[in-house]
Amino acid sequence: MPVSTLLVDPAWLNSRLDDPRIRIIDVTTFLYIDPNGTNHRLSSGRDAYEKEHIPGAVFGDLLADFSDPAAPLPFTVLDSDAFAERIGALGVGEGTHVVVYDQGGPNMWATRLWWNLRLEGFDDVSVLDGGLAAWKEAGFATASGTERKEPATFVARRRPELLADRDAVAAAIEDDKVVLVNSLDPATFRGETQSYPRPGHIPSSVNIPFEELIAEGGRFRDAGEVRDLFSEAGTLDEGKRVVTYCGGGIAATRVAFDLARLGRSDIAVYDGSLNEWTSDPSLPLETGPGAE
């Protein structure tokens, strides 16, 4: 996928609504984090989708359909066969082009499915800048109810290099050829607030808060505007592997997406992120400003 079509605007999509190759997927999900503790509440955006969505869009339920129900953590990636079956049921297969969006503001749910598709070897996927809010702001019509597409055959070809596990992250702490990127807000990174079982960040991490990548209206900042932020963190050094993480592997994909816009399509995401890491007292954490 050319960098120029990773991120598309409402006008681009509106001009292609009748293109039989286009598959629009609404992946709206809602997350509430209690600011005084670790009470995270997740809910599907299916009702919001049924109330209002982009014409032709189907709903991709990240919680119910694109997470492993047997895993101890939410949003754990499916195995390749299960993912292929479920994304194929939404009409995604060879010769299609996916446009994914959400209704939640920073587009991080959309980038989660973007990353999952790329993990399974599918590159013909774009994210709609600004999601449904930008679509409506542009004056385009919406639809209600539930829509479906003819099922397609999706062939998964997993790229294991785009998925990092706990052992890989533990090894990366002492490896100067790997850059660990914490995608959360600075206060959580420094351990000043505790949204997870233990406060702090994985040792050797740098902090690139995903909020700093967001422009007005939940849109993406121009890639040139954020280049220095990524460069200073060492993430544009092609001689180094980059692994992003957050709380549950969602905001980390938002940072990975912006790195893809800057030419780094090889970014790995630590799927378990701090939900997994902080639950194991044997794994190290640091508080304070982190790596220089």
| Whole-angstrom distance, CA of residue 242 vs CA of residue 258 | 13
| Whole-angstrom distance, CA of residue 248 vs CA of residue 199 | 15
| 246 tagged catalytic | yes
| Whole-angstrom distance, CA of residue 77 vs CA of residue 71 | 9
Q: What is the full DSSP assignment across 216-268? A: GGGPBPPHHHHHHHHHHTTTT-TTSEEEEE-SSSSHHHHHHHHHHHTT-TT-E
Helix 223-232 × helix 251-261 angle, to 10°: 110
Instruction: Name the catalytic one among 246, 255, 259, 267.
Output: 246
Exposure string for 8-20, b = 16+ CB within 10 A, e = fewer: bebeebeeeeeee
DSSP E strands in 34-113: the ranges are: 40-44, 58-59, 97-101
Q: What is the full DSSP assignment across 81-92? A: HHHHHHHHTTT-
Give catalytic residues, as residue numbers. 246
